[in-house]
Structure 1
Amino acid sequence: MSFTLAVVGRPNVGKSTLFNRLVGKKLALVDDQPGVTRDLREGEARLGDLRFTVIDTAGLEDATDNSLEGRMRRLTERAVDMADICLFMIDARAGVTPIDEMFAEILRKRSAHVILAANKGEGSAADSGVIEAYGLGLGEPIRLSAEHGEGLNDLYSQLLPLSEEFEKRARDDAPETDVDLDDTDEEGDEFDDLPPQPTAEKPLQIAVVGRPNAGKSTLINKILGEDRLLTGPEAGITRDAIALRLDWQGTPMRIFDTAGMRKKAKVQEKLEKLSVSDGLRAVKFAEVVVVLLDAAIPFEQQDLRIADLAAREGRAVVVAVNKWDVEDEKQEKLRALKEAFERLLPQLRGAPLITVSAKTGRGLDRLHAAVLKAYDVWNRRVPTATLNRWLTGMLEQHPPPAPQGKRIKLRYMTQAKTRPPGFVVMCSHPDKVPEAYSRYLINGLRQDFDMPGTPIRLTMRGQNDKNPYKGRKKPGSSRLRKHLKTPGRD
């Protein structure tokens, strides 16, 4: 039985370091400065034979207003209410602070199961802090070192009986059901050529990227139907690339909320560099990338770079223009957007351009349909026979040039891969094929096989033109010549 563990505590006590150790990956950003984590990050944790969900939370602050710290605190308190167990961490080297005492009192009231951990507990410098932790009234503290992996056995010992309790409760509450395991579909082989459909085990991976303050977190909150991500008027609130699973209108999806990407020259702080690299990694793992623009200042230089990055990574791209609810001249603005899109991003010709309002939720149905269409095109496969008939027509309409008098023969074409579609053309002199002619074929593929917007890879590959029998003697030829040269033979 899996359970949920929320790691809570003051800023900079080592919550994200412990989170990374439990999930076995460096998912959460870690830095020496306090307050790095702002959103809730979930991960699948492993500790011995225990499997559970761990939530990394923002540092608890003594703020209850609508400031950034107050909103972060409310988000953390929500994680406490969601979790089965709370792991309350203090800094053993700093000792118990008044804020620790205040939050210990809050946790006693809000959570049924609280485990106390004194982190940074390696060495004698932490002895006094561990002793002070007894005064919080949360039982015996676990002496931890998230950095070095010390004390995890003690954590396991406290989690194991709770896990068994949750498992027993789940068995008692489970309804009795009869499932016919033999009633399976045996005709699935007919649909091997269809694009793979997203499932709960393999959901559709989407990354939402854009400049700071474009409304990425607000858009995802509206899709989720709840305020799961931290939002506000401040630019650059999101730091980690947060992955969220959801069922969006019947489609299992995993959406990555990424940090806003500024121009490289403006990114000076180490933390912002980590945030941007985390967002770039999310783009590489995604299948569909939604590039979110601000309707007030669309297609700035950084927007173009982000869209081009997604195309170069070979991802299906959907361009969404946010804050459409505040636009007055919508038709005129939309015409200008389409014209700028075709002119500034020719490599994404035909990609969907959707206007949305993350604040009101308007346009989300069209965004959902555009994402599914882009995913379908990204997985599209064209039969080889159809491709070669198409290639013959393209050659008749516009044959390749003959550079330096060398005639280029395009003999055969096939699709080598999908995600994105990749094609191989067997030809003579592949190094002589001009880039313009490759673009001619790519544009034809896009138009004739309905593949708008998705990146298309086209590779020219040479064939071995040598005659395999050249230089070899025919069977019996030497005997024939000897026979003809012999005097007196007819």
Structure 2
Amino acid sequence: MEKQLKKIALIGQPNVGKSSLFNRIAKKRIAIVSDLAGTTRDIRKHEIEILGKEALMLDTGGIDETDDAIFSNVKRKAVECAKEADIILFMVDGKKIPDDKDKELFYELQNLGKKLALVVNKIDNDNEKERLWSFYEFGIDDNNLFGISVSHNRGTKRLFDWIAEELPEIEEESNNSDIIDFKELDTGIEDFINPEDDINKKVESNDINVAIIGRTNVGKSSILNALIGEERSVVSPISGTTVDPVDESFEYKDKKITFVDTAGLRRRGKIEGIEKFALMRTKDMLQKANLALVVLDASEELYDLDEKIAGLVDQYGLGTIIVLNKWDENIETFKELETKIRRKFKFLLYAPIIAVSAKTGRSIERLKDKIIDIFNNYSQRIPTSMLNKIVEEALIRHALPSPNGNYLRIYYATQFESNPPRIALIMNKPNLLHFSYKRYLINYLRDNINFEGTPIHIIVRKKGEREEDNSNDTYFQG
């Protein structure tokens, strides 16, 4: 008997990110993702499972009010699709002001009497959440308005929870033969790992891309010059001298290290004209980086802006070293300053702190060595047998909780990606595993494996899931 699945329609204008969200929910790169408006023209369908619930996902072509016959047909199909759907996700671009065409279509969809969510994409950080206020013009309430960033996987968990609440439960078959014992690790891992997936074909690289980030005039250019041993970047006491990122590569201990000396980051309210462009370029660079040097001025107090800039490392999942520059001008002891930094940057507890002086050359060679060490940690792969032995020890020391009487079991663990390390826990009820236990496992892994300087991703999934399950993706840096 054929399953009668509820249908979810994804609707919106071209280039708002529908295909990217479709891929994230479907866990496969089915839809074509492109910056070219109108890439998706047909309706794509795919069965999905979200938080243990099944549905049929429909990705429609972008709706564009033009005289073009193609787009006119796309709109007609999209509206027809919405009428057939049980749940409608109406997606808009959060970086633009509310569009009259969007409002008109949204009101039309409201009249269909379906479950309707307004999904505002491209809300990439907390500061951009303020843009959500303008979308209340659509007449939507808080429970049905979602500010997300598909590209940075922000805010999607709340949206997935909302969708899952509208879907029926899946009847699970009781079959204890499915349980995989830690001693049978080689059996069943192929159910999770897709041999055609690029992440399992990564070749070890000797190329290290290092981003240098920090407030203006903390000495980023001076550190770059000291590391490469020549005057490559313009150094000036005037804040904001470096506008364009400057790349410089050199060989060190069989590694090719490429530094990008970024433009100094200022408060958003002070970014104007060319500096605004420089910030955009900096973020582009961070997407390509492996490691980040978070540069702080040891001669000054720590600012809230230092914390916000360091938060970019969290956003892009980079290996990290905190660099205290101008140490020759510092009047505090290292312990005193380290305590202040750890208190302010709790999300970077894994990052080593190195005090340097670009002016005198103090600890510059040590910083080079530490870059190599952190990159090795960032790109390492832990053997499955070793990983599961550590996880098994952690379970013995601190048993899994039983939320509301539910029996939880971890079948096995496997690292499926590096740069940064991403570890999957295959278990029976992944959505019931509390974040505090994941944090405990990460801390236990850090106690037994050298993960200094690198974040760790813990993903929990059901046995047999072959692709990335972003709904359960939880990322800690503790």
TM-score category, normalised to shorter length: 0.5 to 0.7
* TM superposition shift of 1:277: 1.0
Name the aligned partner's letter for residue 313 of structure 1. Answer: Y
Distance in 2 between residues matched to 1:231 and 1:363, nearest whole Å = 20
2:209 paired residue among 205, 211, 215: 205
Equivalent residue number for residue 260 of structure 1: 264
Distance in 2 between residues matched to 1:298 and 1:380, nearest whole Å = 36
Distance in 1 between residues matched to 2:447 and 2:203, nearest whole Å = 20
The count of corresponding residues between Structure 1 and Structure 2 is 266
Contact 1:195–1:380 (8 Å) recurs in 2: no
Equivalent residue number for residue 145 of structure 1: none
* TM superposition shift of 1:343: 2.3
Cα deviation 1:72-111 (Å, max 9, x = unaligned): xxxxxxxxxxxxxxxxxxxxxxxxxxxxxxxxxxxxxxxx
Distance in 2 between residues matched to 1:298 and 1:372, nearest whole Å = 29
Distance in 2 between residues matched to 1:316 and 1:459, nearest whole Å = 19
Which residues of 2 match residues 279-358 of structure 1 at below 5 A?
279-329=282-332, 332=333, 334-358=334-358
Distance 1:298 1:414, change over 3 A: farther
Equivalent residue number for residue 235 of structure 1: 239
* TM superposition shift of 1:342: 2.6
Name the aligned partner's letter for residue 231 of structure 2. Answer: D
1:196 paired residue among 185, 200, 204: 204
Cα deviation 1:321-363 (Å, max 9, x = unaligned): 000112244xx2x112221233222332232101111111111
* TM superposition shift of 1:279: 1.1
Question: Which secondary structure does the structure 2 equivalent of 1:245 belong to?
Answer: strand
Question: Which secondary structure does the structure 2 equivalent of 1:378 belong to?
Answer: helix
* TM superposition shift of 1:463: 3.1
Would you say 1:402 and 2:402 are equivalent positions? yes
Distance in 1 between residues matched to 2:256 and 2:386, nearest whole Å = 33
Equivalent residue number for residue 425 of structure 2: 425
Which residues of 2 match residues 469-480 of structure 1 at below 5 A?
none
Which residues of 2 match residues 378-389 of structure 1 at below 5 A?
378-389=378-389
Distance in 2 between residues matched to 1:290 and 1:243, nearest whole Å = 14
Question: Which secondary structure does the structure 1 equivalent of 2:419 belong to?
Answer: coil
Contact 2:299–2:331 (8 Å) recurs in 1: no
Cα deviation 1:213-253 (Å, max 9, x = unaligned): 01111111222322221111100001011111223466422
Would you say 1:272 and 2:275 are equivalent positions? yes
Distance in 1 between residues matched to 2:414 and 2:452, nearest whole Å = 19
* TM superposition shift of 1:292: 0.7
Distance in 1 between residues matched to 2:308 and 2:440, nearest whole Å = 24
Question: Which secondary structure does the structure 2 equivalent of 1:446 belong to?
Answer: helix
Name the aligned partner's letter for residue 340 of structure 1. Answer: K
* TM superposition shift of 1:306: 2.0
Question: Which secondary structure does the structure 1 equivalent of 2:361 belong to?
Answer: coil
Distance 1:464 1:204, change over 3 A: closer
Would you say 1:442 and 2:442 are equivalent positions? yes
From the CA coordinates, give the structure whose radius of gyration is larger: 1
Runs of 4+ in 1 over 6 A off after TM superposition: 192-195
Distance in 1 between residues matched to 2:325 and 2:455, nearest whole Å = 24
Name the aligned partner's letter for residue 238 of structure 1. Answer: T
Cα deviation 1:280-304 (Å, max 9, x = unaligned): 1111111111111101225422222
1:217 paired residue among 217, 221, 230: 221
Cα RMSD over matched residues?
Answer: 2.3
Distance in 2 between residues matched to 1:220 and 1:350, nearest whole Å = 23
| TM-score for the superposition, normalised by structure 2 | 0.53
Distance in 1 between residues matched to 2:263 and 2:202, nearest whole Å = 35
Equivalent residue number for residue 462 of structure 2: 462
Distance 1:297 1:304, change over 3 A: same
Contact 1:207–1:257 (8 Å) recurs in 2: yes
Would you say 1:390 and 2:393 are equivalent positions? no
Distance in 1 between residues matched to 2:301 and 2:289, nearest whole Å = 23
Name the aligned partner's letter for residue 270 of structure 1. Answer: G
Distance in 2 between residues matched to 1:280 and 1:193, nearest whole Å = 27
Contact 1:205–1:254 (8 Å) recurs in 2: yes
Cα deviation 1:169-222 (Å, max 9, x = unaligned): xxxxxxxxxxxxxxxxxxxxxxx9999352xxxx32111110000111111122
Cα deviation 1:158-177 (Å, max 9, x = unaligned): xxxxxxxxxxxxxxxxxxxx
Contact 2:378–2:453 (8 Å) recurs in 1: no
Equivalent residue number for residue 372 of structure 2: 372
Runs of at least 5 residues in structure 2 that lack an aligned partner in the other structure: 1-199, 466-478
Distance in 1 between residues matched to 2:388 and 2:444, nearest whole Å = 13
Distance 1:297 1:426, change over 3 A: same
Give the fraction of aligned pairs with identical amino acids, expressed as a percent: 31
Contact 2:227–2:368 (8 Å) recurs in 1: no
Equivalent residue number for residue 363 of structure 2: 363
Contact 2:318–2:455 (8 Å) recurs in 1: yes
* TM superposition shift of 1:317: 0.5
Tell me which of the two structures has the higher relative contact order, counting C-alpha pairs closer than 8 angstroms and 6 or more residues apart.
Answer: 2
Question: Which secondary structure does the structure 2 equivalent of 1:319 belong to?
Answer: strand
Name the aligned partner's letter for residue 453 of structure 2. Answer: G
Equivalent residue number for residue 481 of structure 1: none
Distance 1:194 1:282, change over 3 A: closer
Distance in 2 between residues matched to 1:223 and 1:370, nearest whole Å = 12
Question: Which secondary structure does the structure 2 equivalent of 1:262 belong to?
Answer: coil
Equivalent residue number for residue 80 of structure 1: none
